[in-house]
Structure 1
Amino acid sequence: MPGEELHEAGADGARRAKEWLEATTRVKAAWTNTDPMWKRRMTFKWPSGKKTPFSLDLGGILCGGEFDNAYFMAECKKYSAPRDQGTAYLSYLAKCYVIMSQQPGAVDHFMWITWSPFNVTDWDKLLTGEWVRQGVEKHGEDIFGEYAPSELGALIDSEVVASVTERLWMIVLSDKQEKLVITRQHRALIQKYDVLEGVR
């Protein structure tokens, strides 16, 4: 897929993921990384300074139950096939590690939202510390700068790996599934009720 088409697909995926999350009625607020007001707060630097800063596609605040007022960030892949998601996912895990290293209290949930399952033989491992560690190892120079291979294990902070692991979500959507949510009209009624009751 040419770069411009890939960018358009990415923007479309972020928009659609945002709409789906809002339609769950469990999102108090959501924004994309193109929102000028939030872009700065969603941008992070690689510790080594070797790469340009990065941001994830979505950010927002959940509401209700155990997730009330929890802050989330999400990366969205509107792919019709697995493509290179395994590679992109490892990069995402490394970014989550960097965010947790720099701002431990900034994000309560990291979501990977995709329209195509990937690495299916490892599906049950994708949300484990083993995979977080793989992502950090693959992007070790971006995170730690130059180091001897024998030093990498000691450089990785196990507590940060554990913090990222417990915050990971994997959400798989489909075009039809996006439609099987509460309607805008009913959502408006719920939001009106919440406002009147002082819930939001």
Structure 2
Amino acid sequence: MSAEESQELGRRGVMRVKQYLESTTYLQMPWTAYDHGKLCLLQKLDGNKKQYDLSGFFLGDRRFPLYVESKKYTTPGGQGTAYDEYLANAYSITARAIKEDMDQEIEFMWITWHPFRLNHWTRLMDFDYIKEAVLKRPDVLGEIDSKPPEEVVDENICRQVSRRLWMVVLTERQQELVLSPEEVKLAMTVLKREGA
């Protein structure tokens, strides 16, 4: 697959994710990396920025921001390594927000079309799995004053991140169950979710 084909597959995947999430009537996902890139950026402890595929927020009582990583894979591919990076970034972003007293309780969602790491599936959102991912990517910790990463990773933040993670596996056929944008608008007039 060429780079252009891969990018187009990714773009189509992001638009499908947007439609899927908004059709739940619990989320509004107005920004994608393709049309509002800066609104999909978050800053990590090391000062670098991470761009997510989509960003938006929950409707109703929750009102938390949500940042989504979409993987339109047809095989497990390199998802395991990418998922470790996703967890390390979620930790770093959350730790930075807490450190700067700016924590908005951002939630993070991984959406894929193909499961991966099946031998670890039940642990993929556990706090200790997050800690392992951060230790594989200590660069996300920023300046740690020559301390070993094991001493810097905060298990309480790992636990907070664990409670803020979502995992969704989609299939092509699920698209048949998704409300159209017109149906979502109609449903929202009846549901009257706060923020919609």
Supply the distance in 1 between the matched residues of 2:35 and 2:180 (Cα, whole angstroms). Answer: 25
| Equivalent position to 1:159, from 152, 156, 159 | 156
Task: Show structure 1 runs of 5+ residues with no match.
Answer: none
- Deviation of 1:147 after TM superposition, in Å, equals 6.8
Q: Does the CA contact (< 8 Å) of 1:33 and 1:55 recur in 2?
A: yes
2:132 corresponds to: 134
Indicate how the Cα distance of structure 1 residues 142 and 102 shifts in structure 2: closer, same or farther if over 3 A, else same. closer
Task: Show structure 2 runs of 5+ residues with no match.
Answer: none
State the one-letter code of the partner of 1:15: M
Q: Does the CA contact (< 8 Å) of 1:110 and 1:168 recur in 2?
A: yes
Q: Could you give the per-residue CA deviations for residues 138-195 of structure 1, whole angstroms, max 9, x where no partner exists?
A: 11024235776x7111111112111111111110001111221234443222223356
2:87 corresponds to: 93
Q: Does the CA contact (< 8 Å) of 2:80 and 2:116 recur in 1?
A: yes
1:122 corresponds to: 120
Q: Could you give the per-residue CA deviations for residues 106-139 of structure 1, whole angstroms, max 9, x where no partner exists?
A: 3432110000000011100101112211211111
Q: Does the CA contact (< 8 Å) of 2:64 and 2:104 recur in 1?
A: no
What count of residue pairs does the alignment treat as equivalent? 192
Q: Does 1:177 align with 2:174?
A: yes
Q: What's the TM-score, normalizing by structure 1? A: 0.84
State the one-letter code of the partner of 2:22: E
State the one-letter code of the partner of 2:116: F
**Greater Cα shift, 68-77 or 3-12:** 3-12
- Deviation of 1:46 after TM superposition, in Å, equals 4.2
- Deviation of 1:57 after TM superposition, in Å, equals 1.0
**Greater Cα shift, 83-92 or 129-138:** 129-138
Indicate how the Cα distance of structure 1 residues 185 and 152 shifts in structure 2: closer, same or farther if over 3 A, else same. closer
Q: Does 1:187 align with 2:187?
A: no
1:12 corresponds to: 12
Q: Does 1:3 align with 2:3?
A: yes
- Deviation of 1:68 after TM superposition, in Å, equals 3.2
Q: CA RMSD in A?
A: 2.5
Q: Does the CA contact (< 8 Å) of 1:70 and 1:108 recur in 2?
A: yes
Name the SS for the 2:25 alignment partner: coil
Name the SS for the 2:148 alignment partner: helix
Indicate how the Cα distance of structure 1 residues 107 and 58 shifts in structure 2: closer, same or farther if over 3 A, else same. farther
Identity across matched positions, percent:
31
